[in-house]
Amino acid sequence: MGAAKIAIAVSLLITMGVLWLALSGHFHDPLLLGFGLFSAAFCVFLAWRLHILDAETSPYHHIISLLVYLPWLMGEIIKTNIIVVRTVLSPDMILTPRLVRVKHLPRTDLARTIFANSITLTPGTVSIDMDADEIIVHALLKEMVNPADFANMAARSARAAGENPITTDEGKAS
């Protein structure tokens, strides 16, 4: 058990403890605080037994780039929401559903996950199937399958996961 694994275990323990405090609301009773600490430590022990204590358990080194990505995603969600609601509530409903394949995905698993989840989170596009090098996307309107938009979102989600497609050194700094 190396030093990196112990750091991950401690960060998981702190997260569990903060979650327990927020959900229970007991701050003063030492007995209950002890029980909370015990249950948090037991969860970390179970995670260790399950062999899932790896870098994915504590994704804290990407948190700044994720916080930069989130406002842009919220803006996109609001824009597409208004389009979808207007389409659905108009009396003469005109739909142009499309099924497209999006290629040129980000490389790392985390960046791919963020990209596919972002596609699904913006209403009007849903990622249906994912393969090693493409995502099949269903879109409600044909204006939503512009390849430049997908490329932009892929580049942004790659940056959010700490992966920089152009210069590899800059992404590690944050």
Partner 1 sequence: MSTVLEILHIARFGLAGVFLLGGGFFVLAGAIGVLRLPDFYTRLHAAGVTDTMGSTLILLGLMLIAGFTLLSVKLALVGLFLFLTSPTATHAVANAAHKAKLKPLLGTYRQTRKGDNEGGSQ
Give residues in contact with partner 1 (CB under 8 A): 22-23, 25, 77-78, 81, 84-85, 88-89, 91-99, 116-117, 120-129, 136, 138, 140
Half-sphere exposure of 124 (CA within 13 A, CB side): 22
Closer residue to partner 1 in complex, CB, 63/95: 95
Closer residue to partner 1 in complex, CB, 127/164: 127
Cβ distance 155 to 148 under 8 Å? no
Closer residue to partner 1 in complex, CB, 12/144: 144
Q: Which of 108, 126, 107 is nearest to 116 (CA)?
A: 126
Smallest distance, partner 1 to C-beta of residue 110, A: 14
Closer residue to partner 1 in complex, CB, 28/49: 28
Smallest distance, partner 1 to C-beta of residue 157, A: 13
Say which amino acid occupies 72.
Answer: W
Q: Which of 164, 165, 166, 56 is nearest to 110 (CA)?
A: 56
Smallest distance, partner 1 to C-beta of residue 79, A: 11
Smallest distance, partner 1 to C-beta of residue 66, A: 12
Give the CA distances from residue 24 to residues 11, 19, 35, 41, 138, in Å, rounded to whole numbers and listed in that order.
20, 8, 11, 16, 42
Closer residue to partner 1 in complex, CB, 109/170: 109
Q: Which of 131, 61, 63, 68 is nearest to 101 (CA)?
A: 131
Smallest distance, partner 1 to C-beta of residue 4, A: 25
Backbone angles phi, psi at 162, to 5 degrees: 80, 20
